[in-house]
Structure formats: structure tokens, C-alpha cells
Structure 1
Amino acid sequence: MREHHAVDVAVVGAGCGGSLIALLLNRIGLSVVLLDRGSHPRFAIGESSTPTADLVLRDLAQRYELPALLPLSQYGTWKANYPQLTCGLKRGFSYFHQCPGQPFRPLSDHSNELLVAASSDDRHADTHWLRSDVDAFLVRQVQAAGIPYIDQTEFIAEQCQPTWKLSGSRENIPLSITAKFLIDATGEAAFLPHILGLTNKTSRMRTNSRALFAHFEGVTPWQEMLVAQNADLDAYPFRSDIAAVHHLLQEGWMWQLRFDNGVTSVGFALEGGCQAGPAKLSPTAEWNALLERYPTLADQFADARVVAPERGLTRTGRLQRRWEPSAGENWALLPHTAGFVDPLYSPGLAQTMCGVERLVGLLEQHWGRESLPERLAGYQRTVAAELDLIDRLVHGSYRCRHHFDLFVPYSMLYFAAATTYEQRRLEHGFDPGKAAPAFLCADEADFQAIVGELQQRLEHALASPDRRPASDRFFAEVAEAIAPYNHVGLCDRTVHNMYHHTAVNP
């Protein structure tokens, strides 16, 4: 017997974005089915939330009356309501400049460190999501809402105007689905781009990086490594490792995200031109070779062991991807499917939340109306602008990562954009009848112009033979340029790279 579903919207991909948008579509009265070729729980990265992601998630949970999701928007409420769901405490962002062959030595003026607070205390803090727990929880919410969820099924899709037809088989039972609208939440798998033959614009992206990653047990907390080096911890706005920890390296950078269960998500994001012979080395051999170049990191991982995924250390090809367009007359890609840049600055969850909010809002307001195609075209433009901006911010950060005195002011572009978005949202609220604002102020021409100008000035500073004057000049140029977006005291020499008060809490 064939199983058939006739729905308004089919969502393909049951990661956090796909499950969330299925729940929201159900709340606005559209019939929906959620499809996935895999099953839960499963390993995934893209784990670090931010104030933007949490603000949007909170607003969505309240606006669409999904109280089960509300506790996930802050560390304190998460731990009080869902202690069984593993997360990690994230008070902000921390950066450490590592030099090959040298132990890390924290300097008295903190000129090789940067800590930026994203919350004022633990209760209001952001979180690292253990995605195997959180994604499975969201799928259970989908099922509890009565939304059909079909997993472990490979589907074939055919666009038959004005509907979609999908077919597959699960446990030898034929399945068919007809849907008026299709949403691709498959991320890297790019379900719809392959079916529709969308344009691959990856080659036009500035950033070029790959990754090597896993989950570990037995990683010595970075704070303990600093204690062993007699660091001046009194100046820190938070414990340095209850954060998205970044180690800037010659080859790229390393992330460390600590979960409350003793597991740490760790990975190297490696610039494309700085490969350590991946074709000749196994992932484990490459990992060990990278650690050996940085003595303090090697000490930190002396007792560490891989616990996930089952296949062990995972090595990727180029991380960047870009498909256009990201929406059509009866379909749309969530941002993570439309493109990806790099995990630097943790943009993934925040951009996903912003894209889900924008897409649900326009479907709520324009479903079945002649205005829908125009609104979807606006969605496409916004997603493209966000990806362009993230690419420019990340590429510039890679360019100056070897020169921490330039990296610090350049990173202020991201923090200025993020805190401005968050402050405006808190002060003015969000009108669901209007288009949702773009992530990181990406729809503002003035900010885009500032980023373009400062990228040029960064190149001048990198090329200057007079390092200190060029660095001082670039710091002043950034401070002046971001002044209209600097509401939280960024580019302040007097704090010595220890930013205590950038938090924008509700």
C-alpha cells in the first residue's frame, strides 16, 4: 500500500533549521511534512549560538506560541528546564595568537589575546548546542505537534507546476508527497540545487578554507593552561574557555567549544593555501602534525581522545559553497543550504534563525497572494547580501590573522554589526508584518561601504613596512568608521583587549 501526503509545504532536511521551520509553518496554519534521509540522534557541528540567534529564537517561540522552545534561548533557562539536553556555557568570544614552535605566553598588556563578552552573567549567557541532543529534541517537538515526519528515506522530487511531487520508499512501503511549496534545509547536501540545476557560485567567494574536526574527551580547559602560564586572570571579563575559543595559527585557526558533559568540540579551519599535505597524511597524522607545531596546544591535548563521530576525525574539502538563486516561485533554500562561508565568528545558527524568521513571516503574510514571488525575490537578495558580508568579514580576518594588532580592530567590524542588530531589535522590536531585518546589518549600504573601505585600508596596513604606525593608524580608521555602529564601547585602547561590557541583554 502506498503512503501519500498532500500538503502545503514539504521541508527536506530535519536538522535544527528544518525542524524549526516545520513547527512554525504548522503554527501559522499551513500543512507541512518534514522529510529526512537520515535519522536522529546524529553527529553534527554548527554548535555555537550567539545573542542574535538567541534573540530570534526567543521571539519566534513567543510570537508563534511554542513555549517548549523558549528555554533554549538562554543558558540559565536551558539548564533549569532541560538538564537532559547537553549544552555548554558561552559567555562570549576569546582569541589567542599562537606562534609556531613557541609556547603560548600571555603578555602583560594582553596584546596577544582578545576577549569579548556577549552576556553579563551565566544565567543570560549563550550556549553551545550538542547538536545530536538538540536536533533530536526538535524532531520530537515536530512529532508531538502532529506533523508527519518521514526519516531514513531518499526522495526524488519533480517540479510539476504549480505543485511538487516527491516519491520514495521506506521499509519497502512506497511513499508519495504532493506539495505546493518546497523548502530545502539539507545544507551541504544541496537537495534542491542539484534538482533544479542552480548556479554554483562558490568560485567567486573570497574565503577559501577547509576543516579537520571531532569531539574529544580529556581536553585540558584552556583556562588551566593560562593559569600554568601565570596569566593575569583578574583582567578577564569571563573564564576564557566558557566561550567560543579561537586560536589563530599560521595555517588558519582552531576552535574549542566546551560542553557541560566533559566533551569539547574541536576543529582546525585551515586556509586553502596552507595545507599540510592532506592527500599524503591521514586525518589523525595531520591533526598530530598540527598540534606538534604549537607546544601549548599539544600539552592541552596530551590526554585527549576522540569520542565522536564514530568515523573519527573528519576532514573536509573546501568549506565554502554558494548557490543562486536561493528562492523561486514555489521553493526556497534556507541560508545554510544557499551557502556557507566558515565557522569564524559563529554565524551559522544566527543566520539560520534569521532566515527561518524571514521566510515564515513572508509565507504567513503572502501565502496564496500575487505578492509572494516578489517577497521571495526579496528573501533571495537578503540571503545573498548576508553571505557576501560574512565572506568579506571572514576573508579579511584570515588575511590579518598573523598580525594580531590588525586582527583585533578588524574583528570589531563583526562585533559592531552584531551588537547593532541586537540593540535595534531589543529597542524597536520586530513587526511581523514587515520584512525581517538582515543578519549583521547586511542590508545597509552604508555598512557594506564601511567594510569595503576598511578592507582596502587593511591591505595597505599589511603591505606597510612600518608595522607599529600602520597598526595604530588602522585601529584609528576602524574606530572612526564604525562609530555609527559602535554602541558598546568597541575599539577602546584602555581596556587592553578585555571587553567586559558589550553584552546586549533583554
Structure 2
Amino acid sequence: MSTMQHTDVLIIGAGPSGSSAAALLRQKGYQVTIIEKQYFPRFSIGESLLPQSMVFLEEAGLLDTVREHVGEFAFQFKNGAAFLRGKQRSFYDFTQKFSEGPGTTWQVRRANFDHLLAQQAEKQGAEIRFGHEVIDVDVTPEHPVLSVKDEQQNVYQIQAKFLLDASGFGRILPKFLDLESPSNFPVRRAVFSHIEDGILDDPNFDREKVLITVHAKDHRAWYWVIPFADGRSSFGVVAEQDFFAQYGFDGSADHDLEALFKRILADDESLSQVLRNAKFDTPVRTLVGYSANVKHLADRNYALLGNAGEFLDPVFSSGVTIALKSSSLAIPLVDQVLQGQTVNWMEQYEKPLRAGIQVFRAYVESWYDGEFQDVVFSKNQDEKIRRMVSSLLAGYAWDTTNPIHKNAKKRLSTLAEYCRDPQQTETLSNGG
């Protein structure tokens, strides 16, 4: 019979939210144990960081280690987002924004980026148990107990004074505690890979910006091109299943995804021209039904971080920023709990975190409705409004001083109308 192990804070998952949470907890002197099912480095998408995330990385003491390895891992300097729709082109420079804070960041291979953060958390004193899998969770005691299977298939129990779920798409606590709640987003599929992009001298392509392309025949479908600094890019397409069905893809595991990918690319003349020299030299992957939600994000002795709580959509690269923001918000509250203080998790954590997520949600919904696409490609935006939009695209979704933060969905509709009728600019600029 095994002896119960103990730790101050147990974290499930060593991705960005888990590593940043561990680093923040170590700053406060707590014993931290991370249970991570996989071995790092491991492949992950979500490679285009947002400038807002730089604030949270610095807060956790993780920014310097990323900066020190930019050259080694070909992290690409990023200062904005570019958009392509047929012959229309548009871009936003994140240094020209409404909100205060960094305006630049990087586009990163997540295998290297996540591994760097985890290694730095370990250097700061966190223990990470790679290859260990959570097989049971009990949060009924005051201090949660987890059953874990190690690399040799041995099972042990570990008890923590507080439990954090940073398991991302694994969504460990939502599954074990029946917290999962349906997302109101349509079920979408992403098909993606890393490619040798072959973009050598295209004057219309800026490696310092993520490129988002609207599919020429279906505005609900879009492509991403996220350049790295070594001539390679992350490349993907996102759409609802009926879109893929038009190309003969029913979701079967044995489908030739690379051939599918190339057919979809060939249907967009403008993007095909950008990637005319691309080489598909890495297996193509697919992910479906990734949008998710939960009934609540925290309780008296546990909290959900990042994608374990909610994931929206990859279109504006909000995932890592939300993950890091969740750790930044949660750890001071965990500290209060461990100090014996009372925390109102709904008021102090869930509502503030969801406030920014709701802004991202408004932009995602408006993108797929087509309204925000009209904004992006409009020639009618004045500089003041462009700066407001640029702030949100740069990840500053929690900046309540931004006039288009409040009632974001309504104001996006107003903005779309203005882009068609410039007479409405005064109302929007003044926060009406």
C-alpha cells in the first residue's frame, strides 16, 4: 500500500498556463508539482503569440529565457497581422494601438517555446513529472487527491492544498468532475502542418506578421500562415465540416490529408501565388470540435486555467494569451487560499477572466459572420478606430479604457456599418 504524497499546489499540465502558474507560485515560495502526460518537446499549434502575452511572461519571470533563445529556435519577430481576401490586402501594426503595453512579440514553434517555459519553471524550483497520467480525481476532501500512473505503470496518490488544471485540450478536471458544457460555436475543423514556405522575395508578404486569408469561395473558411525565421511556416485551414465535405473529406482517419490540403489551397488564387514555391514536407494533421466551455472555472480547492476552461477558436491567436492571463489572475487568489483567506472565485477570477474572453468571442463571431471581415478590408477606417481594433488584435482584451471593449459585439456591428457608411465614425470613436 503506497504512502500518500503531498505538495502545496498540484498542477495538471506543463503547457504555458501550467508553467507560468508554477513560476508565479515559486516566486511566493510554494512547493509546486506538475503532472504532465506527454514528454517535451512535443508538437502543438497556436504558434502566433500576441503582444499582451509578453506582459504575463515577464510577470512570471519567463520572458528573458524566451528572448535568449530567439535565434536558436528561429522565433520570428512579430509586429502585427496581415489579411488577404482575393485581391484585397490589409494589415494592422500592433505598435500603432490604443492600449499601453508591448506592441511586438514572436511567432514560435510551440514545441520549443513550451519546453523553454517548462525548463525555466523547473529552474525556479517546480517539479515536473513527465510521462505521468492522472487517472482519478477527488476534490471532496478539503485538500484534493489525485491518483496518478507513472512511466512504469505504477499508480500512486498525491494530495495538494490546491489543484490547478492546465491540461489544455486534455481537459482533465472538466471530464472527471462533469464540468463540460457545450460550446455555442459551430463544430469546426482545422487541418494544418509545418511547411517550407519558399517565400523569398514577395513584396506583399511580411514575415513579421501572421497572414490570415479568407477563402475565395466561402467566407466562413480561412487559412493561416505563421512564418518562422528560418524560411518555414505553420500553415492551416479552418472551416465547418460541410466545407471539407465539398472536397470529399468525411473525417475518416485514413484520408489523404496532404492531398486535401493542396486542393483547398489551389482553390484560392491569391494565397496559391504567395505559397507557389512551398514544399509540404511534414505530416498533415487535423483537429475537430476544439471549441469548448465549462459550467464554472473554479471552486473552493481547484481552478481551471487556459484551454482547460475555455477555448474559442484559433482565428485571432488568443489561446496562449488567455492561458497566461488565467495564471496571472489565479495565482494571487491561490496564495490567499493558502494563507487561510476567503476567496470569491466567481467575482475575483471567473468574471474578470471571462470579461476578456467575451471580447475575443465577439471578434471571433463577427469574423465568421463576415462583419469583422468587412472592417478589416475597409478603406474607411480612420486612424483612431484602427488603433482601437489593433489593440484588441494584439491581445489587449482586458483593457476597459478601449471604447470598443464595452459591448464589443454591438460596437463591432456599429463599426462594420461605419466601414460601409463613414458618417457613423463620430458615434463609434466616442464610445457610443
Task: Mark yes or no: TM-score above 0.5.
Answer: yes
Amino acid at match of 2:170: A
Task: Kindly tell me the number of residue pairs found equivalent between the two proteins.
Answer: 415
Query: Is 1:394 equivalent to 2:364 in the alignment?
Result: yes
- Correspondence for 2:164: 183
Query: Is 1:70 equivalent to 2:64 in the alignment?
Result: yes
The 8 Å contact of residues 37 and 131 in structure 2, kept in 1 or not, is answered as yes
1:294 to 256, 265, 268: 268
- Correspondence for 2:201: 224
Amino acid at match of 1:265: S
Residues 418 and 17 of structure 1, relative CA distance in 2, 3 Å threshold: farther
Amino acid at match of 1:290: I
Query: Is 1:116 equivalent to 2:92 in the alignment?
Result: yes
Rounded Cα–Cα distance in structure 1 between residues aligned with 2:293 and 2:259: 31
- Correspondence for 1:466: none
The 8 Å contact of residues 10 and 34 in structure 1, kept in 2 or not, is answered as yes
1:380 to 345, 350, 365: 350
The 8 Å contact of residues 36 and 151 in structure 1, kept in 2 or not, is answered as yes
Rounded Cα–Cα distance in structure 2 between residues aligned with 1:128 and 1:440: 20
Q: 2:82 aligns to what SS in structure 1?
A: strand
- Correspondence for 2:116: 137
1:260 to 224, 229, 239: 229
- Correspondence for 1:146: 125
Amino acid at match of 1:397: W
Report deviation, 1:306: 3.7
- Correspondence for 1:247: 213
The 8 Å contact of residues 213 and 271 in structure 2, kept in 1 or not, is answered as no
Deviation by residue 1:145-164 (Cα, 9 ceiling, x = unmatched)? 33221111221222231011
1:269 to 228, 238, 245: 238
Deviation by residue 1:107-166 (Cα, 9 ceiling, x = unmatched)? xxxxx221111238xx97310121111111222223323322111122122223101111
Deviation by residue 1:372-408 (Cα, 9 ceiling, x = unmatched)? 2x14543112233333322221111222279646754
2:409 to 439, 449, 452: 452
Report deviation, 1:184: 0.8
Q: Give the structure with the higher percent helix.
A: 1
Rounded Cα–Cα distance in structure 2 between residues aligned with 1:151 and 1:39: 6
Report deviation, 1:197: 0.5
Q: 1:33 aligns to what SS in structure 2?
A: strand
Identity value in percent: 20
Q: 2:115 aligns to what SS in structure 1?
A: helix
Deviation by residue 1:197-228 (Cα, 9 ceiling, x = unmatched)? 014131x34x65321111111x132x734x4x
Report deviation, 1:287: 0.9
Rounded Cα–Cα distance in structure 2 between residues aligned with 1:391 and 1:150: 34
The 8 Å contact of residues 185 and 333 in structure 1, kept in 2 or not, is answered as yes
Residues 194 and 139 of structure 1, relative CA distance in 2, 3 Å threshold: same
Rounded Cα–Cα distance in structure 2 between residues aligned with 1:442 and 1:116: 18
Amino acid at match of 1:224: D
| TM, length-normalised to structure 1 | 0.73
Amino acid at match of 1:142: A
Query: Is 1:43 equivalent to 2:43 in the alignment?
Result: yes
Amino acid at match of 2:428: A
- Correspondence for 1:419: 391
- Correspondence for 1:326: 297
- Correspondence for 2:18: 18
Q: 1:398 aligns to what SS in structure 2?
A: helix
The 8 Å contact of residues 115 and 240 in structure 1, kept in 2 or not, is answered as no
Rounded Cα–Cα distance in structure 2 between residues aligned with 1:174 and 1:253: 44
Report deviation, 1:53: 0.9
Report deviation, 1:290: 0.8
Rounded Cα–Cα distance in structure 2 between residues aligned with 1:380 and 1:186: 18
Rounded Cα–Cα distance in structure 2 between residues aligned with 1:406 and 1:476: 18
**Unmatched 5+ stretches in structure 1:** 73-77, 99-103, 105-111, 232-238, 423-437, 462-469, 486-506
Residues 150 and 402 of structure 1, relative CA distance in 2, 3 Å threshold: closer
Rounded Cα–Cα distance in structure 1 between residues aligned with 2:406 and 2:120: 42
Residues 441 and 480 of structure 1, relative CA distance in 2, 3 Å threshold: farther
Rounded Cα–Cα distance in structure 2 between residues aligned with 1:297 and 1:445: 33
The 8 Å contact of residues 413 and 451 in structure 1, kept in 2 or not, is answered as no
Rounded Cα–Cα distance in structure 2 between residues aligned with 1:56 and 1:274: 37
Report deviation, 1:419: 2.9
- Correspondence for 1:85: 73
Query: Is 1:157 equivalent to 2:113 in the alignment?
Result: no
Residues 23 and 292 of structure 1, relative CA distance in 2, 3 Å threshold: same
The 8 Å contact of residues 81 and 91 in structure 2, kept in 1 or not, is answered as yes
Rounded Cα–Cα distance in structure 2 between residues aligned with 1:113 and 1:92: 14
The 8 Å contact of residues 389 and 448 in structure 1, kept in 2 or not, is answered as yes
More displaced stretch, 410-419 vs 282-291: 410-419
Deviation by residue 1:427-474 (Cα, 9 ceiling, x = unmatched)? xxxxxxxxxxx9513768975654233355578x5xxxxxxxx8531x
- Correspondence for 2:99: none
More displaced stretch, 411-420 vs 254-263: 411-420
Deviation by residue 1:15-45 (Cα, 9 ceiling, x = unmatched)? 1221111121121122110011111011011
For 1:423-438, list aligned pairs within 5 A.
none
- Correspondence for 1:313: 284
Query: Is 1:441 equivalent to 2:398 in the alignment?
Result: yes
The 8 Å contact of residues 306 and 324 in structure 2, kept in 1 or not, is answered as no
Report deviation, 1:12: 0.3
Rounded Cα–Cα distance in structure 1 between residues aligned with 2:31 and 2:52: 29
RMSD (Å), alpha carbons: 3.3
Residues 482 and 364 of structure 1, relative CA distance in 2, 3 Å threshold: farther
Report deviation, 1:94: 0.7
**Unmatched 5+ stretches in structure 2:** 97-101
The 8 Å contact of residues 351 and 439 in structure 1, kept in 2 or not, is answered as no
- Correspondence for 1:433: none
Residues 26 and 302 of structure 1, relative CA distance in 2, 3 Å threshold: same
The 8 Å contact of residues 17 and 306 in structure 2, kept in 1 or not, is answered as no
